[in-house]
Amino acid sequence: MKFPRLPLTCRCVGLFAVASALTATLSSGLAADNLPAGIQRAVFGQSADGATIEAFTLTNPRGTTAKILSHGATLADLQVIDDRGQKVSVVIPVTTPPGPQGGFSTAGSVFGRVANRIARGRFSLDGKVYQIPVNNGLHSLHGGRRGFNRVTWQAEPVASAAGPAVKLTYVSADGEEGFPGRLTATVVYTLTANNVLRLDYTATTDRATPVNLTNHAYFNLAGGGDVLDHDLTIDAARYTVFDADLIPTGEIRPVTGTALDFTKPSAVGAHLARLAPARRYDHNFVLDAGGTTLARAARVTEPRSGRAMEVWTTEPGMQVYTSPLSAPTAKEATPRQGFYCFETQHYPDSVNHANFPTTILRPGEMYRSTTEFRFTAK
């Protein structure tokens, strides 16, 4: 299959003084910037290498807001208003600039050049073997030690008929983190009037290279607490089997009869006890639509507020991850899960499995990928 052509704490007090001064300077020029309606622009801080981090807040007519940072192309906050007028942040918010190590961990950032895992950080392409830095045991995860989540992208507001938008661009040099080719990647965040946050990714290259981009936002539709009782449906009848290091074996199996069967609505916590010893989800689902069109991949509903989110994507796979909120108590059989991720993408380690949809992008081709997070409430 080819791509369609179509909270770290800042310890430097002086940094905040600089950021405040920059914010004041930028704010005084907002009128001159002539920003499109529904977009606010500010300085968020500085990266570890001294680059200015900009924040763009998108607001739709319902009052829903999405804050996007230029560092890591990060979804720093997503405040959703339900039909009762109640507004909560449905993602882990990023509130401080990155620390000395750079990056914001994994919260809300875009991962690349290759999201997910590459076995032993090694792959062969056109007869040449490439070695990527290993940063997850023996393997490479989310682009290596300095993936796209740890760099500052160029950002610009976009006038869009669909709603306020911001376009972020990053040029990855040939050989960066061991990958071949000069890759130009973009992601456009658009917040529509009907409460859809849309992410449109594109990429081009001057040499053949693997590409697999995704966003790693942590969601909780209640705005806090655990997610064990959230009802989840995943439009996937199969999954990729993996070994003890979460590296795919190449086998694809049905979810029927397993803890991964969410083909009908089921509570997130209903089957966790069967996932011993980790008792959490970190699995790649083979989506029914196969990545051939924009189609629904998942639906999750929070029972108390009635908030619901649907994930739609053009990708063939989706990694579902649940993060522990706390260790189990004496009365609990499983950990309490505080957040979940829906990482729409190609399969993990696709570059080493000929039977998986290919992640190879070649000169003259255009990588295109779209994911939408659609919010509603009863």
Q: Which of 216, 230, 283, 353 is catalytic?
A: 216
Would you state the structure tokens that stand for residue 141, as one six-digit string? Answer: 């995860």
Residue 343 among the catalytic residues? yes
pLDDT recorded at residue 138? 95
> In the predicted model, what is the mean pLDDT of the chain?
88
Q: What is the mean pLDDT of residues 108-121?
A: 97
Where do the domains of the chain lie? Answer: 13-17+39-217, 231-359
- Beta carbons within 8 Å of 21's beta carbon, 6+ residues apart: none
Judge contact between 217 and 300, C-beta under 8 A. no
Residue 372 among the catalytic residues? no
pLDDT tens digits, one per residue of 120-135: 999 999 999 999 999 9
pLDDT recorded at residue 263? 98
CATH code 2.60.120.620 for 231-359: no
How far lies 190's CA from each of 39, 75, 270, 360, in Å?
Answer: 11, 12, 34, 27
Q: Is the pLDDT of residue 22 over 90?
A: no
Q: Which of 176, 177, 302, 343 is catalytic?
A: 343
pLDDT tens digits, one per residue of 249-308: 999 999 999 999 999 999 999 998 898 777 899 999 999 999 999 999 999 999 988 899
Judge contact between 203 and 184, C-beta under 8 A. yes
- Beta carbons within 8 Å of 320's beta carbon, 6+ residues apart: 234, 281, 282, 283, 285, 298, 340, 341, 342, 343
Q: Is the pLDDT of residue 16 over 90?
A: no
- The residue to which tokens 């991964």 are assigned: 260
State the CATH architecture for 13-17+39-217. Answer: Distorted Sandwich (2.70)
pLDDT tens digits, one per residue of 326-357: 665 555 566 667 899 999 999 999 999 999 99
pLDDT recorded at residue 103? 64
Q: What's the rounded Cα separation, in Å, for the pair 344 and 247?
A: 17
One-letter amino acid of 209: T
Q: Is-same-fold flag (13-17+39-217; 231-359)? A: yes
Cβ count near 244 (within 10 Å): 6
pLDDT tens digits, one per residue of 187-198: 999 999 999 999
- The residue to which tokens 């669909």 are assigned: 162
pLDDT level of residue 99 (50, 70, 90 thresholds) = confident
